[in-house]
Amino acid sequence: MFNGVIRRKRLQDVASDNSARTIKGSVTIFGADISDQSLSSKLEEYNIAPHDRNVIVLLDVLNLSPVTILNDIPAEGKLIWLQGQLVVRDFKRISDFVPAVAQNHKIFGIEKSEVNTIKRMFDAVAKIIPLNIEIECVMNDGETVRGTLKEDYLTTAYQDILAIYGTRLPGKWNVVGILDKVKTSTPQFAGHSFRGSVDSLSMVADALYKEGNPRYSLMPLLIFRELDK
């Protein structure tokens, strides 16, 4: 981390001639022994970039200031830097745990009926929308902003995060992303058109992410935590 990341390496071949001459002689006879040696060496040139250079450049270019309370920000595709507590939930992973919990509900101190209800809920939702990874950024005033993550971009496997921290990560986290206002009005569809039916069914997914009536949604671009020493 401290030595940086090698971005480019260039090899250069350098050839040189080295002539060695030895003269032997006596009073009557002179002899010359001349030998040429060709020497080859390689020079390596490294271009070192600091660790996470692209992230540092991005923050510098965006020139954003951290926000801890949203108040009534007019948001429609607004680039923003949020600071708050971070909650990460992988619904797919958690849904895989439910059958095991149902079979061993006494060990976990949960009633079997409650586990079965949760399992039916996960099964129903999974048939309508893909179960993905959700983040919640909880602001200083308790307001929650939700978004989704792609597993490929996690630097730590979710099961490791869950094993160490649970769903709520410690400390203050920074989330840079695109903020949008959550629409509170329910669209009215005329008749029973095919597209209207699809839009109506999609409201199930909408209701999942609108639980608790959040005012904002977020498309995260960058998530990091400042470290102390």
Q: Which of 3-7, 70-74, 175-179 has the lowest mean pLDDT?
A: 3-7
Alpha carbon distance 171, 177 (integer Å): 19
Evaluated on CA atoms 166, 171, 176, 182, the torsion sign reads positive
How many other C-beta atoms can be found within 10 angstroms of the C-beta atom of residue 86? 22
229, part of any domain: no
Indicate if 96 and 164 belong to the same structural domain.
Answer: yes
Q: Among candidates 213, 93, 89, which has minimal Cα distance to 144?
A: 213
Mean local confidence (pLDDT), 65-69: 92
Q: Which helix (H) or strand (E) holds 36?
A: strand 30-49
Would you state the pLDDT for residue 145?
A: 93
Whether residues 116 and 78 share a domain: the answer is yes
**3-state SS, residue 160:** helix
Residue 58 maps to a domain: yes
Contact 69, 82 (CB under 8 A): no
CA torsion sign for 202, 203, 204, 208 is positive
- On whether both 39 and 132 belong to a single domain, the answer is no
**Mean pLDDT for the chain overall:** 75
Query: Is residue 122 domain-shared with residue 169, that is, in the same domain?
Result: yes
The answer on 70 and 124 residing in a single domain is: yes
Comparing 143-147, 166-170, 183-187, the range with the smallest average pLDDT is 183-187
**Residue 189 near residue 200, CB atoms below 8 Å:** yes
Domain that holds residue 16: 5-47
Shared domain check, 156 and 118: yes
Number of domains, the chain: 2
